[in-house]
Amino acid sequence: MHLSRFQADGLLLFVALIWGSAFVAQNWGMASVGPMSFTGVRFLIGALVVLPLAWREQRALRRRGLALKHLDRVRITGLGLLLCAGAALQQIGILHTTVTNAGFLTALYVPLVPLCAWWLLGERPHALVWPCALACLIGTGLLSGAGAVAFNRGDAWVLASVLPWTLHVLLVGRVAERLAAPFTVACGQFIACSVAALAIGLATEPITGAGLQQAWGAIVYTGVVSVGIGFTAQVVGQRWTKPADAAIVLSSETLFAAGFGAVLMGDHLGPAGWLGCAVMLASIVTVQLLPRQNE
């Protein structure tokens, strides 16, 4: 399956929509389940959703003599550990800070992705990526009202999640393209993330049947939709677009989260929030107009 840049970025915009809708469910689920347990169970569900597609993909690759090698499994496991670190640190932070601050601080990965792509991979972004990334960060700040609440320990946890998120966005498309096996990459990283999170959760958090039952709706929704569909679509989309562009498009998660918050939780967007939405949309549209060397 080959996607054009526009199709790939459109798929990533759909991913951002899914992640934005899941933000509310993540907050609800955390009321009765610890952050590591919540992360572990939802990624296990996501792995089960994608497993049939990964199994079918692997059968096809084996027939062509392209079975996974040991180093490939190491790469996929590494992606899963980055995913676990990013998701778990963010979940812990949400326990101690506002959704407003968490949304803004998480968006710091947007300017970091092109910077790390340049430093680590030698991929020099188009000149317009920098102002687009900065505009996205400003738009997220306006949308979330960042700065209205003092920095606290929850913010520090969310800030710590930015580097794993950055590295994951930077590398996941590269690994999927190298292996030509997006469903295998998605399923494998979900399993690694789940095992790591559940191991930590079992050692550090009280896990009860009553707590899991109370959070079951949020866990199933985030596991099936956010992980199984959203993160898998991210892997597919990032095969065909550059990491810097992907980061800018995925940052619209904050915009969609605000929309779902308004519909489901009665949140209200003021003038600054609407301006933030406009700035982010302008950045995303501008990214679509950037020339590509391979097109």
Q: What confidence score (pLDDT) does residue 98 get?
A: 66
* Contact predicate 84/193, CB 8 Å: yes
By CB atoms closer than 10 A (0-12, 13-18, 19+), residue 64 is exposed
Q: What is the 8-class DSSP label of residue 2?
A: -
Flag whether pLDDT at 294 surpasses 90.
Answer: no
Per DSSP, the three-state class of 240 is coil
* Contact predicate 179/68, CB 8 Å: yes
Say how far apart CA 250 and CA 201 lie, in whole Å: 28
Flag whether pLDDT at 281 surpasses 60.
Answer: yes
Q: What confidence score (pLDDT) does residue 268 get?
A: 63
Say how far apart CA 9 and CA 239 lie, in whole Å: 11
Q: What backbone torsions phi and psi does residue 262 show, to the nearest 5 degrees? A: -65, -40
Give the range with max mean pLDDT: 22-36, 110-124, 185-199.
185-199
* Contact predicate 114/247, CB 8 Å: yes
pLDDT tens column, 72-91 = 999 999 999 999 999 889 88
pTM of this prediction? 0.84
pLDDT confidence of 293, banded at 50, 70, 90? very low
Q: What confidence score (pLDDT) does residue 12 get?
A: 92
Q: What is the 8-class DSSP label of residue 221?
A: H
Average pLDDT, the chain: 83
Say how far apart CA 27 and CA 42 lie, in whole Å: 14
Look at the block and give the residue holding tokens 């993330």: 193
Say how far apart CA 68 and CA 55 lie, in whole Å: 12
DSSP output for 22-37: HHHHHHHHTTTS-HHH
CB-based contacts of 220, cutoff 8 Å, min separation 6: 45
Distance between the two ends of the chain, CA-based, in angstroms? 17
